[in-house]
Structures are given as C-alpha cells and as structure tokens.
A = this chain, B = another copy of it.
Amino acid sequence: MDSDLLLTELLAGKTAALARAISVVENGRPGFERLLAEVHRSLGRARRIGITGPPGAGKSTLVERLVGAYRAAGLRVAVLAIDPTSPFTGGALLGDRIRMESVALDEGVYIRSMATRGSLGGLAVTSREVCDLLDAAGFDRILVETVGVGQSELDVARMADSTVLVLVPESGDGIQTLKSGIMEIADIFVVNKADRAGADKLRQEIEVTLGIRRGNAFRNVPAHHGARIDRKGGGRAARREAGDASAWEQPVALTVAAKGEGVEELIAALDRHHEWLTRTGVLHERRRRRLMDRTREVVDRATRRWLWEETRAEQLVAERLDEVTQGRLSPYDVAAEVLEGLKQGERI
C-alpha cells in the first residue's frame, strides 16, 4: 500500500490500514516517522486511559466490561495491552487476551497486544506512537492495560490522560508497601472483586493513606508560608485544604468486574476526571509535558540510529574489540574515541 493511501485510510478509520500502520511503526519500517509526523496534527480527540495494577487484580475483565459499556454508549474503543513478556507469566496473559478478542468481532473495537521485548527505542516510545495511530484512526477511548510490574505503571501514567489503579481486597496487606509514586499517579482507585471480604477495609485504607499523604504534604509547609503552600509536591492537596475547588480528590470505586458491577460508576468517575482535566487546564498541561517527553525520546532514537547506521561507531567498536578483550583499551576509551569523531563532524 502506498504511504499516502495508508495515511488516508488510517484517518478514515479503516481497520486494515490501522493494523498495517501499527506494524510499520512497531517494526520501524521505512517511512514510519513520516507517517507519525503526518498524523500528529490529527491527534487529541481520543481519551487515553491507563489501567494498571498487580497480576491477578482482574484488569483484563474490567477492561472487557469498560469496552462493553463504551460500545453500548456508541463510542469506538481501542485496547492496547502491554505484555511484559515475563517468561513466568506468559501463559496466563495470553489466555486473557484470547478471551477478550471475542469482542473484537465488533468493528467499533480494536484490540492489540504489544510485547515489551525488542522494540526499537523501547516499549515506552513505541506504545505511545501506537496510541497516536489509534487516536488518529478516530477511536473515542483508548484503554492501555499494563501488568503492574517494574517501571510500567509510571510509564502508563506518562502516556494516559487518566490512570486507573486496580487493586483487590487481598492487596490490603500490601497497601502500606505501595511506594508513594504509585499512589500519586493513580487518578482513580478501583477495588475490584469487591464481593470478597476486606473490600471496604481496603477502600478505607486507601482513603486514609491518601489522607495522610495529603495531610503530611500540608504539614510540611511552615505555617508562616501559608500563602505559598502550593510550591512543593503537596500542591494539589494543599490547594484543596485551602478551599480551592479545582483540586482532584482521587475516588475509590468498588467493582465486581466479573459481574459487571460498579462499571457504570467507574465510567462516571472517568468522565468526571476528564471534565476536571479539561476545566482546570491540567489536560493541556499533561499533553504538553507528554509531547516534550516524546520529542526527547524521538530525538534519542533518531540519534541512536544515526550513530550506529551512519557514523564510524560500529566499525570502530569492531576494530577495537581485540584490544578491549585483552585489557589494553577499555570500553570507555572506545566511547571517547567515537565521541571525538562525532564532535569533529567525522563521517563514514
């Protein structure tokens, strides 16, 4: 398919063109950057929603329910599931994915899994680029699901307009050990499997923990600096304490995704969050910051590609390897030599 035609059909929301465009981007095939540059002006329509949480929290089931509810409301929905390719959890995830693809017979739904391994320039960049394609293809909601291991939650937060953290009553014991970063990136908490014992207790614990953190942030500000309490970290909480109605208080929703319970309430919370994001200008601010991060990442990737494909770096590494192996040169000496070449504008 010719690249102009691909772009036209992608923007028209054709599924085949979308699948092809994603494949071009995922594999960094010729023209992928031009394609992404072209769609850039058409972005911003979709709401990007991150769904994260520990393994076994029922994220996939919840996502399936959200898809169903959005479809019932006439919206087009895309799901991007980030598979952490753990060699120890691979099987279970795959099962979820296959099950969910039953809803994918619907033209208004698009589901895609991405593996964390081997994408040029890292998963973070590529998954954001795939979100752009989904956005450009006219989806109203993009649900990005990640298993909560490692760095992935924070990466989701950096790509999403709204981030949902899904826990289960059994997470209760662990709530104290959740690092503060994860509490703060969540715009909405979900206690899923809420028909099990301990759901209300977990909700209270989350609320208390959020309250303590808000309280501490406020208390850390010396009293005589009351007028400038929004300067450090505790800004949002502090504004709330100061009576500013623009603060967002993270709600805790109870759901039983397997039975569809609480899903409407979660959707309402997401709508409220979006309304808040828009009204306060936070949405614009988040998207702007996201674009800055993205631009840096794209510059990094382009530079790396140039370094290894168009300069002497690869050749130099190969030529010096014997000396490095024998201990006569170190990798740092080779790096310094490469860099010297770059600085002097050396070409191949």
Q: Which residues of A contact B (CB under 8 A)?
A: 33-34, 36-38, 40-44, 54, 84-88, 90-92, 116-117, 148-151, 153, 171, 174, 176-179, 181-182, 284, 287-288, 291-292, 294-304, 306-308, 313, 317-318, 320-321, 324-325, 327-336, 338-339, 342-345
Contact A90 B177 (CB under 8 A): yes
**CB-CB < 8 A to A116: which residues of B?**
150-151
Please, which residue of chain B has its CB at the minimum distance from the CB of A334?
B295
Task: Find chain B residues with CB under 8 A from A176 CB.
Answer: 91
Inter-chain CA distance A345–B307, complex, in Å, is 13
Instruction: Give A294 Cβ to nearest chain B Cβ, in Å.
Output: 5
A153 pairs with B87, CB closer than 8 A: yes
- Number of identical monomers bound together in the oligomeric complex: 2
**Given A295-B317, A295-B324, residue A342 in contact with residue B303 (CB < 8 A):** yes
User: Which of chain B's residues have a CB closer than 8 A to the CB of A296?
Assistant: 308, 317
Given contacts A91-B177, A291-B325, A303-B307, 6 further A-B contacts (CB under 8 A): A88-B148, A295-B320, A295-B335, A299-B331, A300-B307, A303-B335
A297 to B334, CA, bound (A): 11
- Report the Cα distance A335→B304, complex, angstroms: 11
Distance in angstroms between the alpha carbons of A304 and B122 in the assembled complex: 15
Return chain B residues, CB-CB under 8 Å to A336.
33, 302
A296 vs B33: C-alpha distance when bound (angstroms): 24
**In this complex, which of A295, A317, A339 has the most chain B Cβ atoms within 10 angstroms of its Cβ?**
A295
In the complex, A295→B308 CA distance in Å? 13
When A174-B88, A339-B303 are in contact, do A117 and B151 touch as well, CB less than 8 Å? yes
Least distance between A145 CB and chain B CB atoms (Å): 16
User: Smallest CB–CB gap between A98 and chain B, Å?
Assistant: 14
Least CB distance, A334 to chain B, in whole angstroms: 5
Complex contact B306–A292 (CB within 8 A): no
User: Is B334's CB under 8 angstroms from A299's CB?
Assistant: yes
Determine which of B36, B86, B151, B324 lies in contact with A148 in the assembled complex, contact meaning CB atoms within 8 Å.
Answer: B86
Are B54 and A88 touching (Cβ within 8 A)? yes
Write out the residue numbers on chain B whose beta carbons fall within 8 Å of the beta carbon of A299.
307, 313, 317, 331, 334-335, 338-339
Decide if A288 touches B335 in the complex (CB within 8 Å).
no
- A301 to chain B: which residues have CB within 8 Å? 335
**Contacting residues, chain B, for A295 (C-beta < 8 A):** 317, 320-321, 324, 331, 334-335
Q: Which of B37, B86, B181, B291 contacts A333 (CB 8 A)?
A: B37
State how many angstroms separate the Cβ of A127 from the closest Cβ of chain B: 15
Nearest chain B CB to A10 CB, angstrom units: 15
Rounded to whole angstroms, the CA-CA distance of A44 and B326 in the bound complex is 10
Residues of B close to A178: CB separation below 8 A: 87-88, 90
What are 24 contact pairs spanning A and B, CB under 8 A?
A33-B335, A36-B331, A40-B327, A40-B331, A85-B150, A86-B148, A87-B148, A87-B153, A87-B181, A116-B150, A117-B151, A295-B317, A296-B308, A296-B317, A297-B331, A298-B335, A299-B317, A299-B331, A299-B335, A300-B304, A302-B335, A302-B339, A303-B338, A306-B342
Contact of A327 with B91 in the complex, beta carbons under 8 Å: no
Task: Please determine whether B148 and A288 come into contact, CB atoms closer than 8 angstroms.
Answer: no
Contact status B342-A344, CB under 8 Å? no
